[in-house]
């Protein structure tokens, strides 16, 4: 079999707009697993948000969460974790206040935003990812420039209206490379499917990079294949036409 690992983004990819795995997509994922293909969730979400979907699919394979800041050897065994510098988290928090922009921050200890933020959290928590959401393009662009000036950061998005920040070099591609080492699989044997800029690195690094039909234009332009949307079983089509085809 040409492809041995299927790396799946969750929101906008594995999950429909109703935040569910469609029966057809689940059926084809289970067919791939039965044929010996490793299936790995590769998501910007935190572990606690991802693991129920892994359990629904019966996965016991490694998992990449928080855009690569965490790699799990099995769904409940942490293999590697990469943290943001607390001083930079403090700086990014201050930027959100200066520009009056909604922010969120993922920590090992939980998920925080302006509704539950307390100053003492900064030193107490282990920070994995920071994010901003604004539909104002100019504000988002100025945030982007400031973040680039800080340096040492990986800046992506999971929607056209947000920015997601991880430590430099930490992304879904770095996460899937680690998974490949754990499973003794080559990156050329990976099919990676996603819809947002936080999927771009792994889509470009994989043997077959797939953009969903609902993916951002930059993702579609850099993918090997564009499939149907997340509401139209795009994953199922790729498994049928590229992974389980007779060579």
pLDDT of the residue at 75: 86
Assess whether 134 and 92 both reside in one domain.
yes
Domain boundary residue, one of 167, 184, 214:
167
Q: Which residue in 219, 216, 100 sits closest to 160, CA to CA?
A: 216
Model confidence over 4-15: pLDDT tens digits?
999 999 999 999
**Which of the residues are catalytic?**
9
Whole-number average pLDDT of the chain: 97
What CATH number should be reported for the domain holding residue 47? Answer: 3.40.50.1000
Assess whether 184 and 72 both reside in one domain.
yes
* Model confidence at 148: pLDDT above 80: yes
Model confidence over 43-60: pLDDT tens digits?
999 999 999 999 999 999
pTM: 0.96
* Bridge partners, 146 (sequence order): none
- Within 136-232, where are the H helices? 137-150, 172-183, 200-205, 217-222
Residue 167's pLDDT band (boundaries 50, 70, 90)? very high
Across 220-242, average pLDDT:
98
């Amino acid at each position: 079999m040409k492809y041995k690992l299927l790396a799946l983004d969750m929101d906008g990819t594995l999950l429909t707009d109703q935040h569910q795995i469609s029966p057809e997509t689940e059926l084809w994922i289970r067919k791939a697993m039965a044929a010996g293909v490793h299936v790995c969730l590769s998501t910007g979400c935190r572990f606690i948000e991802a693991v129920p979907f892994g359990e629904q699919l019966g996965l016991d394979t490694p998992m990449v969460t928080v855009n690569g800041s965490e790699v799990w050897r099995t769904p409940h065994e942490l293999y590697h974790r990469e943290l943001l510098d607390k001083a930079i988290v403090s700086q990014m928090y201050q930027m959100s206040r200066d520009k009056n922009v909604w922010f969120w921050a993922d920590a090992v200890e939980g998920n925080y935003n302006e509704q539950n933020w307390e100053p003492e959290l900064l030193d107490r928590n282990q920070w994995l990812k920071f994010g901003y959401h604004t539909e104002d393009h100019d504000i988002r662009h100025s945030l982007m420039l400031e973040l680039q000036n800080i340096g040492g950061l990986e800046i992506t998005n999971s929607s056209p209206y947000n920015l997601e920040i991880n430590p430099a070099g930490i992304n879904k591609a770095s996460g899937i490379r680690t998974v490949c080492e754990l499973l003794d699989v080559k990156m050329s044997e990976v099919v990676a499917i996603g819809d947002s800029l936080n999927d771009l690195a792994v889509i470009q690094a994989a043997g077959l990079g797939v953009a969903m039909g609902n993916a951002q234009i930059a993702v579609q332009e850099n993918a090997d294949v564009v499939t149907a949307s997340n509401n139209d079983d795009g994953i199922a089509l790729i498994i049928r036409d590229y992974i389980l085809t007779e060579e």
